[in-house]
Amino acid sequence: MAEDMKRILWISEFPPEKGAIADYSKHLTKGLADSHGYEIDILTESGEKPEAPVSGVTVRGEIPRSYNGWAKVLDRDYNGIQIQFPVGRLRYLVARKWLSRDVPPTLITIHDVPGFQQYSLLFGSFRNLIFLTESTRQEHIAAYPLTERLRVRNYFTVPYLGIEKSIQDRITKKHLGIELDDEATNVVCPGFVHEKKGFHKVVDALPQLKKKYPDIHITISGGEHRGHSGDYMSELENSIKQQGLSDDVTITGVLPTEDHVNEYIRQADCVVLPFDEITQSASLAKTLALGSVPVTTPLPSLSPLIENYGGVMMEANTINALVDAVETAIDSPPTINSTGILEDLCWEQNVAAYADIYSRVFK
């Protein structure tokens, strides 16, 4: 490889143009290629090619299913490897196959403390493995004292999810066929439907909210996530029926594009994000960027965005607190600093932060 060539292998379980994480990967890889001179090869779950190819970014196929497959991939000369949000089969393959041979410096993005715990235990002694984690070192040590004993010192904090500066103009100029009832009080819960999103709490709060807002309607703008198995969706639908709320709640199912999700957010009277656990929220960032009022659970990871850009944080993770917060958001909405978050969390800032990490890790 030429001395000045910067070639990265990027591995993600998500196709390059499907879902929020895929949207994130697409913007980040494009920025690294366009502005920082990286040549990026991508492996995904399906090997699906993007509709709009990007110069310097090549989707080379599926994530290998065997050690020999990995060996063939690594025959190419890479400065480094980035693994995005490993779950399921990819996590298994990394554990069983990846570090059984010499590989370039490898960044693994871990999006939760349990994931960090698992990788710390498995790979704490590998010097060529670097963690990109959305939590702080203090959280790791408090949650998992063995981390310190394993001497896992190689990690950086993941830069916060980026936002397109054009998000407002693009949404308002597109006709997506989405029109919420202007006469109703519209509450939107965006994103994939799984237990940690906490959407069931909004359904359980609805009978109380209907007393004050008889015309209230809840729209869950998303569908079931294939990576989160279980009965949560069916349990949520059964709860809606059992409480006689079928006319008051809509679950859209998986939407065609992120623009569709964003359009629901833009039309909402308030956007409720009742997470039980999360470290970064693209939905919260986009809600603020679009000027809508978010309501969130009192998680430390979300408070900086609420404090800096506006919104309502529940006093506790309870149904009564959720009701109170929604009433505040609807009756006395706070000012939302959408201009500020678009400047602070734009993709240019996100890409530059990643490029700085890459320059220190991938030689």
Most confident residue range from 87-96, 117-126, 305-314: 305-314
Q: Which residue has the higher pLDDT, 228 or 71?
A: 71
Do both 112 and 66 map to the same domain? Answer: yes
Q: Per-residue pLDDT for 359 more than 80? A: yes
pTM for the whole thing? 0.79
- Residue 52: its pLDDT value, please? 60
Assess if residue 2 is contained within a domain. no
Could you tell me if residue 125 is inside a domain? yes
Are 122 and 235 in the same domain? no
Q: What is the mean pLDDT of residues 215-234?
A: 83
Q: Is the dihedral of CA 166, 169, 172, 176 positive or negative?
A: negative
CATH of the domain at 33: 3.40.50.2000
CA distance 344 to 339: 9
248 token code pair: 């008051």
Question: How confident is the model at residue 122, as a pLDDT?
Answer: 56
In a domain, 253, yes or no: yes
Can you list the alpha helix ranges (DSSP code H) found in the chain? 19-36, 67-73, 88-96, 113-123, 137-143, 146-150, 167-173, 199-212, 232-242, 258-267, 282-289, 303-309, 319-331, 338-344, 347-361
Residues 339 and 350 reside in one and the same domain: no
Residue 151 pLDDT > 50, yes or no?
no
pLDDT value for 94: 55
Residues 340 and 350 in one domain: no
Question: Do 90 and 227 fall within a single domain?
Answer: no
How many structural domains compose the chain?
A: 2
- 232-255: pLDDT as tens digits: 899 999 999 999 999 999 999 888
- In the sheet with 39-44, reading across from the earlier edge strand, the strands are 57-62, 39-44, 7-12, 80-84, 106-110, 129-133, 155-157
Q: Which domain holds residue 76?
A: 7-162+346-361
Q: Give the angle 139-140-144 at the CA atoms, nearest 5°.
A: 120
pLDDT digits (tens, 9 = 90+) for 168-208: 776 665 667 788 998 999 999 998 888 889 999 999 999 99
180 and 148 fall within a common domain: no
In a domain, 1, yes or no: no
With respect to residue 172, please indicate whether it lies within any of the assigned structural domains.
yes
Indicate if 195 and 334 belong to the same structural domain.
yes
Query: Do 202 and 325 sit in the same domain of this protein?
Result: yes
Q: Is 77 in the same domain as 214?
A: no
Examine the domain organization and report whether 327 and 188 are in the same domain: yes
Residue 107 lies in a domain: yes
Residue 69 lies in a domain: yes
Are the C-beta atoms of residues 144 and 118 closer than 8 Å to each other? Answer: no
Domain shared by 217 and 140, yes or no: no
Same domain, 25 and 148: yes
